[in-house]
Structure 1
Amino acid sequence: MKYVFVLLSFLLTTGFVKAQFTPLVQAAQPQKSKIHQFEDDGLAHFSYAILVGKQVVLVDPGRNPQPYYDFAEKHGASIIGVVETHPHADFVSSHLQIHHEKGATVYISKLAEANYPHQTFDEGDIIDLGNGVIMRAMFTPGHSPDGISVVLSEDGKDVAVFTGDTLFIGDVGRPDLRESAGAIMMQRKELARMMYYSTREKLMKLAEDVVVYPAHGAGSLCGKAISDAKSSTIGQEKLTNYALQEMNEEAFVELLLQDQPFIPQYFPYNVDLNKTGAPTYLDSKELVPVLADLADLEEGITIIDGRSQDIFKNSHLPNAINIMKGAKFETWLGSLVSPQERYYLIAESEASLDELISKAAKIGYELLIAGAGIYIEKDGMTMSFFDQETFDSNPDLFTIIDIRNEGEVAQQKVFANSINIPLPELMQRVSEIPTDKPVVVHCGTGYRSAAGSSIIQHALKDTKVIDMGAYIKEYNQK
């Protein structure tokens, strides 16, 4: 069965399956409603606005409500509702802010036990948007025990389903995120069994032309093999999604639990924050202390430096961790910094600092910032740059640390004598690294190694630590 999963994952990733099957299942075309998909690349998050006449209902909005306000204003419409398919683990929603500012009703399952004003929205409940258009709740636990999907119907015909984290394109939601978070805590096997029935008895029984709109795309840690497609149909997913193929419950549970990615530290924190509702986005950002002087930072508080790795290597504050401002800043911030600790945030300019604070706010981490500031000094700590010619002449003179995830290493080990310590485990396992030779750190593209090498440098102060950076791409091709 594992080989079937690997084959299907490859086909979905390369686009072969999509190219073969897309024409076979024609999607239903909404006539009375307009569906707009919003995409946040950094978190691989999809959210939605459903426009009917002059009314808008949102599904799973992100932290910053402004894009949704702009959409409603553009169409001369009012936001009357926000549907939360479940308390999200990987991002913070703006549902409570939208409720306060726009008077929108927040809809969520009673099982979520939300601690903010809301209307329970469970199996069979509907939101009537008028003109024959309704949104119907469907109980689909599996990723979370309180998860719902939302079916959009026009004149009695189902045309779309917003599946939250239950059904993705090419995948289903992972069942191992609710063992220590939220009002309901369940074991992964029990949730995996729920997922089996949610897919077979609920979603797969919808018409094949119903369009599937998930809450996440490729790159999200809420699944393990999500396609890069942004939507699909029930029929196409039945044909191509590895998790929807014919198998018994036990085989499904075993398959679903295999090879799930790591769980970032911030996931349980986000579940709890989404249950209570986050503070207003801009007000919360403005409360972040901005420091004019970085000379007297409190000892023992983690320093996150969001500048580029080259600038960081030339000069940085002692003990800073280099998480570069980029597409995955939020994920690695929430993976390396615990929600139980505070941290300092460093950038090279005011504009960059504001962007980093905005990224932190997507996961509610603006609330943990002890201070934010700009670092432009030239006489700080330094790191060695990678010398490819020296390395290639005798790689055995270096200890090579591969900080990719175990699954990535299993697919291709770039250097035969490398030691694999995944980045999420690095702070706890840094003592395992030999110190008799210079240490070279690599990942898959050069992004994570900036953080990994800075962590190792500060732990092994008497050892030369070198970030291979983007040079790894050349070795990947060999």
Structure 2
Amino acid sequence: MIIEQFKDEFLAHYSYAIVSECEQKIVLIDPSRNPEPYYEFAKQFEAEIIGVIETHPHADFVSSHLEIHQHTGATIYAHSLTGVAYPFTPFDEGEEINFGKIKLKSLHTPGHSPDSISIVLEHNGQDKAVFTGDTLFIGDCGRPDLRESVGNLQAKREELAKKMFHSLRDKMMKLDDDVLVYPAHGSGTLCGKALSTANSSTIGAEKVGNWSLQEMTEEDFVKELTTDQPFIPKYFGFDVDLNRKGAAEFKPQIEKVKTIVNPDPESLNPAIVVVDTRPENLFKEGHLPGAINIVYGKKFETWLGSIVKPAERFYLTAANEEQLQELIGRTASIGYEDFIEAAFVTHTGDVIMPVMPLEYFMASPDDFTIIDVRNENEVKKKTVFKGSLNIPLGELRERIKEVPAGKPIVVHCAGGSRSAAGSSIIAAELGAEIPVYDLGGAVRDFNQAEK
């Protein structure tokens, strides 16, 4: 038996292949949008992919379960409560999948969602591992507030938090201490708030180190779990519904994205936003009118799906062809590839952002309107500038009218990447009336000064 863990570092997502070497068969759990890595892995063992298990309809990425089924004939397994639109076999509490010496057993573990399951792997008659989806993470458990308005089954966060309390204690903690824990996410995901950087653990270790498994009342657990969860990106509800339907095939979707060479700016539709992924210094030196600077980096998908709402058309542009093609694929990982009006490489543009007058700002901060685009829970922990106005980046386009235009504007976040996007959004609206500056990485100096 082999357990192979695959990682999407950008979305902090783990998926799994379970191999029966004696039968040369594979079952996948929570696969990413691009199925090619799983096909290549199967070829290494000359093995057949016979099943794909969805622990729940994921909110933060698009799964390739339907495409894998269509290409390999693999059976898709999910809980019957999910209400899917694709052909599947119910994998409810007590159901089993047997292949080789492996038995996969379904546990219904609601809490992150009403239809969440965890999968216990039994080998040679002993429980060896549990694939916990978004129920139990390393150091944390899944957030309960993503199904209040999406999916076929909706539930209030307090109701799901209570279910999580019991799922962890009545199901997870009943497993043997030496059972390995393999979650669907690691540190960096927005599906929890305090995940470890580790990619696996054991039930015994989690009983010791995971706050959610400690002795406490249900009331205290619910209060802790529902407090200070991360923000919810705009695309999360869209992905839940798309995963319930099953996404279109990855490669054809990528290939049909329209790419253009050296577009005339006059030919672009001014009503369609330009997502410019170049480094912030290049963007500031020259970009297209109305462009938003979502910098190429580890969190591109998260901020694209937080700033641009589902079904909104956008142009995608990058510093070079290699990055452009990569970003088209990463856009597809959250199901946004159909919304790309066209993709192209950009080197400059006619719109220039002013250079931050740092010395003047340090001497006279009251002469500026300071916009803090961090999330509310970050601001609660620490305010960098007194009198600043907090509008989280994911809400900024919708709340742009709240930004006063009486004084020059300085935008900051925690480290510099979000302020590049935030300042570009505000500049697109107010830049013709008043200077808009990005404090960028210089905010770290102010953070240090506060210590």
TM-score past 0.5 threshold: yes
Letter in 2 for 1:298: N
TM-score normalized by the length of structure 1:
0.90
Determine the structure 2 residue equivalent to 1:451. Answer: 421
Determine the structure 1 residue equivalent to 2:130. Answer: 161
Select which of 303, 313, 337 maps to 1:342.
313
Measure, in 2, the Cα distance between the counterparts of 1:375 and 1:167. Answer: 43
Determine the structure 2 residue equivalent to 1:440. Answer: 410
Q: CA deviation at 1:294?
A: 4.3
Report if the CA contact (8 A) 1:339-1:365 is conserved: yes
Determine the structure 1 residue equivalent to 2:47. Answer: 77
C-alpha change, 1:84 and 1:404, in structure 2 (3 Å) is: same
Letter in 1 for 2:20: V
Determine the structure 2 residue equivalent to 1:320. Answer: 291
Determine the structure 2 residue equivalent to 1:147. Answer: 116
3-state DSSP of counterpart to 1:385: coil
Matched, 1:66 2:66: no
Determine the structure 1 residue equivalent to 2:252. Answer: 283
Select which of 8, 12, 16 maps to 1:48.
16
Letter in 1 for 2:275: I
Measure, in 1, the Cα distance between the counterparts of 2:74 and 2:301. Answer: 28
Alignment of structure 1 residues 1-400 onto 2, 5 Å: 33-53=1-21, 54-131=24-101, 133-292=102-261, 293-295=263-265, 296-377=267-348, 379-400=349-370
Letter in 1 for 2:285: N
Measure, in 2, the Cα distance between the counterparts of 1:386 and 1:211. Answer: 51
3-state DSSP of counterpart to 1:171: coil
Q: CA deviation at 1:477?
A: 2.1
Measure, in 1, the Cα distance between the counterparts of 2:208 and 2:68. Answer: 38
Which stretch shifts more, 117-126 or 161-170?
117-126
Measure, in 1, the Cα distance between the counterparts of 2:270 and 2:402. Answer: 25
Measure, in 2, the Cα distance between the counterparts of 1:343 and 1:415. Answer: 34
Structure 2 unaligned residues grouped into runs of 5+: none
User: Over the residues paired in the alignment, what is the CA RMSD in angstroms?
Assistant: 1.4
3-state DSSP of counterpart to 1:263: coil
3-state DSSP of counterpart to 1:284: helix
Measure, in 2, the Cα distance between the counterparts of 1:456 and 1:298. Answer: 20
Q: Deviations over 1:181-225 (max 9, x none)?
A: 111111212111111111111111101111111101111111111
Report if the CA contact (8 A) 1:294-1:375 is conserved: no
Determine the structure 2 residue equivalent to 1:30. Answer: none
Q: Deviations over 1:221-266 (max 9, x none)?
A: 1111111111111111111211111122222212211111111111
3-state DSSP of counterpart to 2:397: helix
Letter in 2 for 1:409: V
Which stretch shifts more, 246-255 or 222-231?
246-255
Q: CA deviation at 1:60?
A: 0.4
Select which of 437, 441, 448 maps to 1:470.
441
Q: CA deviation at 1:348?
A: 2.2
Matched, 1:410 2:380: yes
3-state DSSP of counterpart to 1:221: coil
Letter in 2 for 1:401: I
Report if the CA contact (8 A) 1:140-1:149 is conserved: yes
TM-score normalized by the length of structure 2:
0.96
Q: Deviations over 1:403-422 (max 9, x none)?
A: 11111122222222322211
Measure, in 2, the Cα distance between the counterparts of 1:148 and 1:353. Answer: 37
3-state DSSP of counterpart to 2:386: coil
Q: CA deviation at 1:325?
A: 1.0
C-alpha change, 1:294 and 1:123, in structure 2 (3 Å) is: farther
Question: What is the aligned-residue identity percentage?
Answer: 54
Measure, in 1, the Cα distance between the counterparts of 2:350 and 2:146. Answer: 40
Letter in 1 for 2:76: V
Measure, in 1, the Cα distance between the counterparts of 2:302 and 2:404. Answer: 28
Structure 1 unaligned residues grouped into runs of 5+: 1-32
Measure, in 1, the Cα distance between the counterparts of 2:434 and 2:14. Answer: 44
Divergent runs of 4+, >6 A: none
Measure, in 1, the Cα distance between the counterparts of 2:312 and 2:231. Answer: 20
